[in-house]
Amino acid sequence: MSSDKSSEVRTKRTSGRNTSGRRAGGRSGYKKNTGREDLFSAYLKTAIAVVAVVAVIAVIWLIVKPFRMRAEKARLETAVSESDALEITVDPEAEDGSGQAGRARIPDGMSVRYDTPGWQHDDKGWWYASDEKTFYVNGWFTLDQQEYHFDSTGYMDTGWTAIGGKGCYFDEHGVYDSAADNSRMIALTFDDGPGEYTNELLDLLEENDAKATFFMLGECVEQYGSETIPRMVKLGCQLGNHSYDHSDMTTLSLSAALQQFKDTDAQIAKYSGGAPASLIRFPYGSFNAELEKSIDKPSIYWNFDTQDWTKPDTYEMAQKVISNVEGGDIVLMHDIHENTITSCKTMIAGLREAGFQMVTLSELAAARGFDMEAGVTYYGFSDTDIAHGSVSDKKDGTEAADDAVAAAAAGTSENADIAAGDASGSQLTEEAANGDAGDSSTGDTGSYDESGSDDSYGDDSYDESYDESESGGSTDESDSEESSDSGGEDSASVYNDSAVADY
């Protein structure tokens, strides 16, 4: 019995030891399994992170890709468009616009609004798109058996236009009129105003469907500009600059002379809608090469002096002009004299009855086939002037105004009829050889005297001194060079700024 109990006890102890061992072995295996799971979990997290990054990159790419594709497509389309445009553009047949129009790419500032091919319109005028990419420029264009002409910027020409040295007329619709007559066109020009009689003169012009060019003094614009210049613009008259106070420009420094014209342009612009004068005329017709080329506008002389400053009989003065004026002439008068306005009542109506058209200087020049250039002085556009080569001081690309002045002194050159007066041509009297005698009606003091002789500034010796200076050849343009064309004047400041800055 006792031995059986002892054996049972041993069996239980042995059994307990074995159970304890198994438990210990189980705890060791659990620890090993937990380490593997941690490692697997770390690998899994890393993989998930990598996948997430790749997914984010893929999403970003999907978002950006359409934009990149559109940009690339636009670049390719632009390249193709430019290539196409280069293939379909055509140079004008002639650089001066006298040949067939060319085809140029439509610039960014112009947009096709209507069907192509077809007419397009913007605030600058009419032009013709040959397709959605190109338009016609600088030459002739025939459509529906009608002839049109486009300038170098592509806009349709209207009115008188100088093309290849010939005056061509286009009606308001741009249609060329080969029958238009330019043989009876003249330019009436009035200096030294505006004044108290200018509005009366504007009435006469309006009643007779006539235009004129006014060379104005800055000091007079200050007084009368507000009531006259807007009317001039409305009637289609041309605005010219005659200096500020009518000083002889050759007696001033270059900077002071330029300042006179600059100040006058600023005054004119106040009443013209912002535009300065498009032409200049030197007081007394007195200038030199340096002055001429420093002012970026065409300079205007004259070839028919009425000498209205001497206050001739108004009827006789009118009849002399009507009977002796020639198509293409530039007629000199002064709108500050009452007798001039009285004479114009007969003169303007008589000229119209005689078949003359009174136009602006720019229109007259274009009708006679001339594009007036800055830095060049123009004397007249009559057949006589053209035949003698005396339209301007530009000869074969060089300036030669001194030839005209020398001719005036010698009385023998082909230019004598322009600079000095031609008794058998368009000039009235031998006194025209003195130049702008009419301009001696205004001097430097700035106070008019309408009651006495034409020595309006109260200097009895002024006319003689002026005559001497003019006939003696104070105008010297032998060294003058043609200045470049400005293309457009967007302000009154169109002069040599460096010279003005020295003033």
Nearest to 91 by CA among 105, 74, 81, 107: 105
- Give the helix ranges, DSSP H, for 272-313: 289-294
Extract the tokens encoding 53. 């990054």
Determine which one of 191, 402, 436, 476 is catalytic.
191
| Neighbouring C-beta atoms of residue 408, cutoff 10 Å | 25
Contact of 138 with 123, CB cutoff 8 Å:
no
Annotation says 463 is catalytic: no
- Tell me the CA distances in angstroms from 46 to 40, 41, 51, 59, 223, one per residue in order: 10, 9, 9, 20, 91
Determine which one of 149, 334, 337, 388 is catalytic.
334
Q: How far apart are CA 497 and CA 255, in angstroms?
A: 9
Nearest to 421 by CA among 411, 470, 365: 411
Per the listing, tokens 């003195």 go with: 434
Annotation says 460 is catalytic: no
C-alpha 405: how far from its chain's center? 32
Q: CA 17, 19, 24 angle in degrees (round to 5)?
A: 95
Buried b (16+ CB within 10 A) or exposed e, 68-85: eeeeeeeeeeeeeeeeeb
Active-site residue set: 191, 334
